[in-house]
Structure 1
Amino acid sequence: MNITRKSLLVSLAAGAGLFHGRLAPAQPTDPAPISPERIAQIVASPDRSAADRTNDLRRKPAEMLAFIGIRPGMTALDLSAAGGYTTELLARAIGPSGMVYGQSRPPNAGSQFTRPVSPEGNSHPNMAPAAAPPGGPRPSPVALAERDARLRAAGVAAAPIVAVSRPFEDPVPPELAEGRFDLVTLMFNYHDLGHLGTDRAMMNRAVFRALKPGGIYVIADHAGRPGTGISEAGTLHRIEEDFLRNEVEAAGFRLVATGDFLRNPNDPRDRNTPDPPQPKDEFVLKFGKH
């Protein structure tokens, strides 16, 4: 049989591939998103606070967690965490094999996002940051630390919550700034970055860098009317959906899903609080890093 050197090398390579295929361990895969049943259990957890349960009525956490596609073991960053309503939900859903960071702007940055929050976890827009008396309003990092402590004391299998005090333009600690996160959320406060003068392009680029390939950036906000952009951020606390989408996509993101579970087409979107009283029209956008 006439075997050429080339054919022998090809045969050896093929054999090595088969041998490697039999012995090499399988590549790890991401766990599946948590089930609707598990989400329902998290939302119904009896150790959640009464204030959070009240917020559930308008925030629809079960739909939000399902839309995000939350997975066990994620590393997540909750931008503008305030009292930690979303931060705690993420920690409960991700579980002890993951990590959740809650970001707020430093007090010396002069931002309403550093304002104290009530003992129930609600923010107070008219309060200046200040040292809080025991049991009174307290800054966001304190509120997050209290949530983490309560989760530990209750024996909840939740991800640790770590408070991060950094400006929005540079929201991630340097050691985590390059491809370390699976998920970043920003709930109902992107619009405020307009009247605060935040460099949103810089922030979105920082988020893009901090996410792993395939990571997601989920933003929810109050819908503004077409053509208003971010001009009504300080008055009606709204932002035009297409305007926000264009800003985020300019950082390299791609829109992968929209959530309609907080939409209200009957809201005229011309006031901060709709009149007659009704749910505010709100959108939820999921962006991916590819």
Structure 2
Amino acid sequence: MRHMILPLCLGTALAACSPSAEEATEETAAEYSAGDYTVAINDIARPDADREADAARKPGELLAFAQIDKGEIVGDYIMGGGYMTRLLAIAVGNDGKVFAFQPEEFIAFRPEYATEQEEAVAPYPERVTPLRGAIDEPQFPELLDTIVTVMNLHDLYLAGMPEGTGEKAIAALFDSLKPGGTLVVVDHSARSGTGTQDSDSLHRIDKQAAIEALTAAGFELEAESDLYSQPDDPRDANVFDPVIRGKTDQFALRLRKPG
């Protein structure tokens, strides 16, 4: 299992960090690298569409940032087509578990999500358990070491969602983690200062708004990554626009539940 590390020192706080704390953080982070997850990336059960997406989605680097260990119990929250589910299934190893959660709201909007869930979990019956439920009530059957949610946090703030869905769902994720467990969030960046207002129209969320919503629930921000940084993205176009699709600026956050 991963070692506990101290939160990253940010801004002026960097000067206050002792050298030993910085060294401990760097040493632990160095234990994880993209190469550690080659077996997961080369899994024969992964479809061609996944492999074609790898150049942009950088699966090895993301799994390293998430610090996924063998034997972990992991939740893939809002699994979509199953891209992350398939990677996690191999990354956690024979002794690990993955709970792949698909919201009923998504299936109602697009029934293919149900079929895609079934197809994603089928190759891994011993490791992956499919779950369905309300988007703000993911009923994971046991406490998790890690939860990963990729390009879906903004969905909690879509116009069709009941008021308070975001707050309720984030609280549920917090409660679903073991003390010391981590939440990894990747999403499309909105323009700074726009909060959640572009979640429905552009399928984007302001990184600072995301951080504030997550830390308000009790999470502590541990690390940020520029893995998916695209400085040329003006962040004012719908992420499905062919001009920008696959080239959006995205943020990646790793947060920890205290404990």
**TM bracket, shorter-chain basis:** 0.7 to 0.9
- Distance change (3 Å), C-alpha of 1:260 and 1:85: same
- Distance change (3 Å), C-alpha of 1:31 and 1:221: closer
Residue aligning to 2:144: 181
Residue aligning to 1:99: 97
- Residue 139 of structure 1 aligns to a residue whose secondary structure is helix
Distance 1:276 1:89 in 2: 28
Deviation at 1:39, TM superposition (A): 1.1
Backbone CA RMSD of aligned residues: 2.2
Instruction: Give the aligned length.
Output: 226
Task: Give runs of aligned pairs for residues 65-104 of structure 1, distance below 5 A.
Answer: 65-104=63-102
Residue aligning to 1:197: 161
CA contact (8 A) 1:103 1:163 kept: yes
Task: Give runs of aligned pairs for residues 121-200 of structure 1, distance below 5 A.
Answer: 128-130=109-111, 138-140=112-114, 142-151=115-124, 160-173=127-140, 175-176=141-142, 180-195=143-158, 196-198=160-162, 199-200=165-166
Gaps of 5+ in 2: 4-30
- Residue 279 of structure 1 aligns to a residue whose secondary structure is coil
Deviation at 1:31, TM superposition (A): 6.1
CA contact (8 A) 2:76 2:149 kept: yes
- Distance change (3 Å), C-alpha of 1:34 and 1:263: closer
Q: Which structure carries more relative contact order (alpha carbon 8 Å, separation 6+)?
A: 2
- Residue 137 of structure 2 aligns to a residue whose secondary structure is coil
TM-score by length of 2: 0.80
Task: Describe the superposition over 1:172-226 as per-residue Cα deviations: whole angstroms up to 9, x where unpaired.
Answer: 24x43xxx11011111011121113251111111111111111000110000001
- Distance change (3 Å), C-alpha of 1:35 and 1:282: closer
Residue aligning to 1:43: 41
CA contact (8 A) 2:35 2:60 kept: no
Matched letter for residue 246 of structure 1: E
- Residue 153 of structure 2 aligns to a residue whose secondary structure is coil
In percent, how many aligned pairs have the same letter?
31
Task: Describe the superposition over 1:226-285 as per-residue Cα deviations: whole angstroms up to 9, x where unpaired.
Answer: 111111111111100000100000010000000111011111111114796571100000
Rg larger in structure: 1
Matched letter for residue 220 of structure 1: V
Residue aligning to 1:27: none
Matched letter for residue 247 of structure 2: P
4+ residue stretches of structure 1 with deviation over 4 A?
A: 31-35, 273-278
Matched letter for residue 249 of structure 2: D
CA contact (8 A) 2:89 2:124 kept: no
Residue aligning to 1:285: 253
Residue aligning to 2:107: 114
Task: Give runs of aligned pairs for residues 25-44 of structure 1, distance below 5 A.
Answer: 30=1, 36-44=34-42
CA contact (8 A) 1:74 1:182 kept: yes
CA contact (8 A) 1:145 1:162 kept: no
Deviation at 1:35, TM superposition (A): 5.4
CA contact (8 A) 2:219 2:255 kept: yes
Gaps of 5+ in 1: 1-29, 116-127, 131-137, 153-158
Residue aligning to 2:24: none
Does residue 228 of the first structure (1) align with residue 194 of the second (2)? yes
CA contact (8 A) 1:91 1:100 kept: yes
Distance 2:242 2:135 in 1: 33
Does residue 239 of the first structure (1) align with residue 205 of the second (2)? yes
TM-score by length of 1: 0.72
Deviation at 1:40, TM superposition (A): 2.3
